[in-house]
Structure formats: C-alpha cells, structure tokens
Structure 1
Amino acid sequence: MKDRERAAPKRVTMADVAERAGVSPTAVSLIMNRREGTRVSEDAARRIRAAADELGYRPNLTARALSTQKSHVLGFISDLVTTDRLASGLIRGASQEAKKHGHVLLIAETDGQSGAAEEAFSALTDRQVDGIIYAATRPQSLSIPVRATGGTPVVMLNAVSDDVAGAVIADEYAGAAAIVQLLLDAGHTSNVVILGRSLDQPDDEWLTFAVRRRLNGIWDTLHSAGVVPVAQIPCQPWSVNNGHRGVRDLLDNGIRPGALICLNDRLAFGAYRALTEAGIRPGGDVAVISFDDDDIAVYLDPPLTTAAIPFEAMGAQAVQLLLQRDRVHGQQLVDMPIRVRNSVTIPAQLDLRLTHANDDERSAR
C-alpha cells in the first residue's frame, strides 16, 4: 500500500538551481525569465542553465504570469485550418516561431460555424493569452467580434479584416507575375490558355481578394509582353474534375494550347489527365504552370512548375508581428517561392540562372 502511495517527485525550484550553480535565487530568476540587460556574468549564466538542465527545472508559468503580466501563451483561432493538409502549415509555422520566443500556441477551431469565432475569442481572452492569430484556410475577409477580444492584440493570417490593422498574406500578385514571366522568358508565348477563371466573369463567392490579385498578376504580365490568351476557361470550384473537363472541352472545340496557366494545382492535375488522354505531352507539347505547390505536384509526370503558398513562413511572420512591441499595421506580404520543375521547357541560359538561384535559396535555409 505504501508503494502505491509514494509521493510525487518534488518540483525543482529556483532555490535548488541557485544552490547547484552557486549563485543567488535572484540571478537564477533573471536568467530563467530572460530578463534583458542583467548584470549576471556569462560564466554565471552558463552555470545556471547547466544546473537547470541537470535538475530538470521547469519555470512556474503561473508565478511568472503574475509577476510579468504575460502568460507566454498565444491564441490561434482556426477557420478550418486544422483540417486542411496544406493550410495546416500555418499552424506549424506559428507554433515553431512561438516556441523560439518562449511561447506556446493554444488552438481553437471554429469548424466554419457561424458564431463559433466569438466563442473562441472569448475562451482565449478568458485564459489571458498575450495575443490572438485568426487564420483562414481560404483567403477571405472576416469580421472580428471586437467586444470578445477584451483588448487583446489580434493579427489576421491568410485573411483580412476591417476590424484589425495587421494581416499576413501571400503576395499573390508578385507570385503570379513571377511564374508567368518564367513562362514567357522560356519562350512560351503562343496559344496561351488560362484555366480556372475568365477576366470578364462576373464577381461571385469564388472571387476572393487573393484570386483577384493572382489574376491581376497574370494579366498584367501577359499584357506587358503583348500576349493575349486564346482562351479563358471558368471552372468553379477549382477541382481535378473541373480541370479535366475544361481542357477536354477546349480540345474538343479544336483549340490546342501551347501554354496552360492553371489557377491552382488541382486544376493542373485534371489538365494533365485530359492532355495525356489526347496524346499531348505536358511539359513537352504544352507548357503548364500552376499555383499552390500541392504535395502531389512533384510526383506528376513531368513534375509540375508551380508558385508555392508559403504557409509556414506566413504562420511564423504572424507570430513575429503579434509579438512586436511597435506593431506594424497593414498587410504584410510574404513572397511565393517558384518551384521550377519539368512542366515548362527552359532554355539553357535561363536554366543556368534558375539553378544558381535555387542553390542560393537552399543555402539560405
């Protein structure tokens, strides 16, 4: 019976660490709480950290919160982000960046339900989080239940709001311009087709601010080069089946594309199938570019050239923005990396330039 009633191990305190390191508890507090500008010597700081590691010291977060008025917890409200295999990178990026700054992430999911956001904001502010990130799977404008925030700082992620000054989103315009310019530089200027949406298509629920910027980047770049698409194929939603159907109908109408600009990877997957069924080789007979960098894109034959949505980088930047003392207002745009693969035939001179650029990017990581 006594064995079953063994007392739990005693929690290691700052006093224990101070005794092991041969310093005062005050010095331990300064180092463990990461206070800036302390007079604790580097040698003493190293001894304190070593002693803390040896003893398995863990800070008392409740006591720290009372003394610093900071919980070191950030709230993350997800609008279906937790269930999306691509957009979940927003959470990974935010969580990793929060950890670097000594914070943890507390996640609340709305499941896309009306009214759930207000409940999530209330639940997080009741737990005195230091700030809240409100993230969406699909870029869109969201309203904030201001009274439920309790004055807690809020940053939008992959979304914007009239109620919040700070937002982190992908630079859709620049990403679209860059990948279309890659296509043009490679000499693919004839029989260009846009798959996904027509420029003169009436506004609807699918035309988010991100889609509009992506389209503008495509059109402005084509226009600057004097290239006019031979066809624009609306496809809502942007699915594999609709991509397949759109390209199949295009071919049935006697239009053979020389270059295909797909507005997302799922459309490109369907386009690949339709082209292959017609005996047309993607990357050989017709150049194909796309957006999103879905995990499957690299496994296509040939692998798909696509502009990536930088989800993890966006999540990290949202945390950085939230923790800034002098918070920057407005939209923070994150570059969309271009994944150059074999769906676009690249001239040797351009290929050499891109190889060096990719090497530089890998070295910077």
Structure 2
Amino acid sequence: MTRRVTLADVAALAGVSQTAASLVLNNRPGSRLSAQAAGRIRAAAEQLEYRPNPAARSLRNGKTHMVAFVSDDVTVTRYASAMIRGLLDVAEDYGRTVLIAETGSNPRRVDDAIRTILDRQPDALLFGRMSARELDVPRLPTDMPVALINATSPNGHPSVLPAEFDAGRQVARTLLEAGHRDIAVIGVDREAAADPQTSVTITARYDGVFAAFDAFDVGPSWVYPSLRWEPATGYQAMRELLASDVRPTGLICLNDRLTFGAYQALAEAGIRIPDDLSVVSFDDEDVAGYLRPGLTTAAIPYEEMGRRAMTMLLSGGEPGHQLVPMPLRVRESVRQLD
C-alpha cells in the first residue's frame, strides 16, 4: 500500500517548516511568508497530491465534515433511492461526506446504528423513510442538528415532506378539467389513514382530492375504502365496481400499485383506457410509464426532498418544515370529454 503523503513531506519538498506549510494550506492568517514561498508550498502539495488528514483536521476544529443518514428501506428501494442521490449532491457541494446506515424496521438495528454513528461524531444527522410516517427520534446530543425526510416526529424536528394536498387537488382536477363528473375513487379510508404510524401525508392527499370535488360542486360516484394499497386490492376493487350499476368515466386510485391491479381487471373486462375510462394516480413508480397506456400520476419527489433536507442542515438557515411539490407526470391515461 502506498504511504499517505504527510504535511511534513510537503514542507520538506518546499524547503519550509511544517508550521509554515500548515498555515498556507489551511489558509490561516498570520503567516509572514513571501508569496514565492507560499507558491512553492502549494506547488509541492499539488505535485505530491497531498490531501489533508480529515481525522487530524476534525481534532483541530471540532468538525468531522460528515453527515449521517439513517433510513428504514430507502437504500434498497429502487424508486426511493433517489432521496440519497439528492442529499449526496448537496453534501458534495458543501464539501461533506455522508455516512449511510440502513435499519429496516428493527428497533434494535436503529439503536445499534445510532450508537455506531455517534461514535464517529457526525456534524449533523438525517433520518429518512420510504413511506411517510411518524418517527420516534432516538435520544441524541442536544447540539446535534437533525432533520427528517419523508417523516415527522412527535417532538417537532425539522422535516421535509411531499406536498400531498396540492398533489391530490391537481390529480383530481386533471379529470374534472377534462370534463369528467362521474368519478370513482379507490383507496380511501381517511379515518384509518389519520394514524401517524400508518401515514402522515395520506390524509392530505385525500383532502386535496375532495377539495377539488368541492370546487367543482361534485362528489365521487363510487368509493372503495381500503388502506391495503397493493395490486390485488386494486384488482378486487375494480371487479366490484364493474359488477355494480355504476359506470364512471374517470377513476382516481390513491397510489400506483392499486392502479396496476385496476388496469388488469379493466383489460380482462375489455374496457379501454382512456376511451372508456380515464385513470389518474399517485407516486409515479417505475412501471407507471411502461403501462399501456402510460399512467398519468403525481410523482413523490424523493430526490428533491433529499436535496432540501441536506440544504436545510448545511446552509446555516433557520430549520423548519418544508413541503416539496409533487410533479404531475402527464401520460396517455386521460381523455378529454366532448
């Protein structure tokens, strides 16, 4: 293994003392060195490809220039991992490294991860969740800056969440502004969704949808209440709708996975999207763009949430609570009525 280049090596090559080299390379005031000597030091550092020792620097200034990120399943979930890409981009801009720990839903793993992380003395700590839920933040040093991504805490830690109310209203208006008035909704159970251990955002999604209905002075023609938002539920709900006397022209599914099942049931019944039924949804999972026709859906802005949370920690601004817009991915699943 090649030996690490030290400050002493740079000083020797430049023909100056180690103290002088340190003053120049760390941009410290008080040096009486000539511009020529300072130039020799910087040239020597470049020639030797000298990199400061982060451990030694942290001992001097009390900063490790490291931020820790603790998540449940973000790193192993394909479409949520964009959160990490966003926070890493900002951390790089600020010259910070990021220590990442994945815990799943095991409380013991969370405790172990926090102990390990605190041993490394990060300057700040981020918690992220794939699904937006309330998080019990473990006991931390009182001077440790903390922010949450896609989560809230009972203690009111600064957080970054998707703007679900606006997204719900926009998704519903997509159908309403296309002339649809007979609209079915799959996935509504507002009372159960109000539990913060289930979700801290779904009630806002629900409220946005129904605010759009209210603005157009209409109501849903059929509602399937469920919080099990999987393709099998969407399939079963659509089968029940088709077996009823209700014939909506539009359908809102509260997430894409419900929509995947609904698409299957509609295909089996010979009902064409969007000619016979227009469909809109939420989340913009990877498969949404590959369905035929492509699904119009509001995307969870994982990458932007990661960027904003890291910026909140590192910018020196006042921490708070931020809502990030959910962009609407307009595809081919909605028809304009005559």
Fold similarity call, TM over 0.5: yes
- 1:310 aligned to which of 268, 291, 301: 301
Percent identity, please.
Answer: 40
Is the counterpart of residue 327 in structure 1 residue 318 in structure 2?
A: yes
Give 1:136 shift.
1.3
Q: In 2 relative to 1, CA 290–53 (structure 1 residues): closer, same or farther, beyond 3 Å?
A: farther
How far is the alpha carbon of 1:123 from its aligned partner?
2.0
Matches within 5 A, 1:156-175: 156-175=148-167
Aligned ranges for residues 34-183 of structure 1 at < 5 Å? 55-146=48-139, 148-149=140-141, 151-183=143-175
The code of the aligned residue for 2:248 comes to P
Q: Of 341, 345, 352, which residue of structure 1 is paired with 2:331?
A: 341
Q: Which range moves more in the overlay, 124-133 or 113-122?
A: 113-122
Secondary structure, in 3 states, of the residue corresponding to 1:162?
coil
* Amino acid paired to 1:28: L
**For residues 315 and 118 of structure 1, do their structure 2 counterparts lie closer, same or farther at Cα, with a shift above 3 Å needed?**
same
Match of 2:265 in 1: 274
CA distance in 2, matches of 1:152, 1:206: 25
1:356 maps to none
Rounded Cα–Cα distance in structure 2 between residues aligned with 1:263 and 1:50: 60
2:289 counterpart SS class: helix
CA distance in 2, matches of 1:225, 1:49: 68
CA shift, 1:271, in A, is 1.0
Listed one character per residue, the Cα deviations across residues 276-335 of structure 1 (whole Å, up to 9, x for unaligned) are 111111122211111111011111101111100010111111111111324322x21111
8 Å CA contact retained: 2:68, 2:98: yes
CA contact (8 A) 1:265 1:291 kept: yes
What is residue 285 of structure 1 aligned with on the other side?
276
Aligned residue among 258, 272, 288 for 1:297: 288
Q: SS at 1:341's partner residue? A: coil
Gaps of 5+ in 2: 32-36
Q: Residues 49 and 79 (structure 1 numbering): CA distance in 2 closer, same or farther, change over 3 Å?
A: farther
- Matched-pair contact (CA < 8 Å) for 2:152–2:200: no
Name which of 232, 235, 255 aligns with 2:246: 255
Deviation at 1:257, TM superposition (A): 2.3
Matching residue of 2:34: none
The match for 2:24 among 23, 27, 33 is 27
Q: Secondary structure at the match of 2:56?
A: helix
TM-score, L = length of structure 2: 0.87
Q: How many residues align?
A: 329
Q: Is the 8 A contact 2:134 2:196 kept in 1?
A: no
Residue pair 2:71, 2:129 contacting (<8 A) in 1 also: yes
Letter in 2 for 1:132: L
Greater shift, 156-165 or 200-209, is seen at 200-209
- CA spacing shift, 1:245–1:13, aligned 2, 3 Å: same
Deviation at 1:345, TM superposition (A): 2.5
Instruction: Output the CA distance in 1 between the equivalents of 2:78 and 2:333.
Output: 24
**Structure 1 residues 59 and 202: alpha-carbon distance in aligned structure 2, compared to 1, 3 A threshold:** closer
Summarize deviations over 1:86-116 as a string: whole Å, max 9, x none: 2222222222221221111112222201243
RMSD: 3.1
- Partner of residue 353, structure 1: none
| In 1, Cα distance between equivalents of 2:272 and 2:197 | 30
Cα offset, 1:27, TM superposition: 2.8
Q: Is the 8 A contact 2:194 2:200 kept in 1?
A: no
TM-score normalised by length of structure 1: 0.81
Alpha-carbon distance in structure 2 between the residues aligned to 1:345 and 1:53: 62
In structure 2, the CA distance between the partners of 1:52 and 1:294, relative to structure 1 (3 Å rule), is farther
Distance 1:45 1:276 in 2: 74
Whole-angstrom distance in 2 between the partners of 1:252 and 1:50: 79
Q: 1:145 to 1:204 in 2, by over 3 A?
A: closer
Contact 1:235 1:246 in 2 (8 A): no
Deviation at 1:120, TM superposition (A): 2.3
Counterpart of 1:27, as a letter, is: V
Q: Is the 8 A contact 1:236 1:242 kept in 2?
A: no
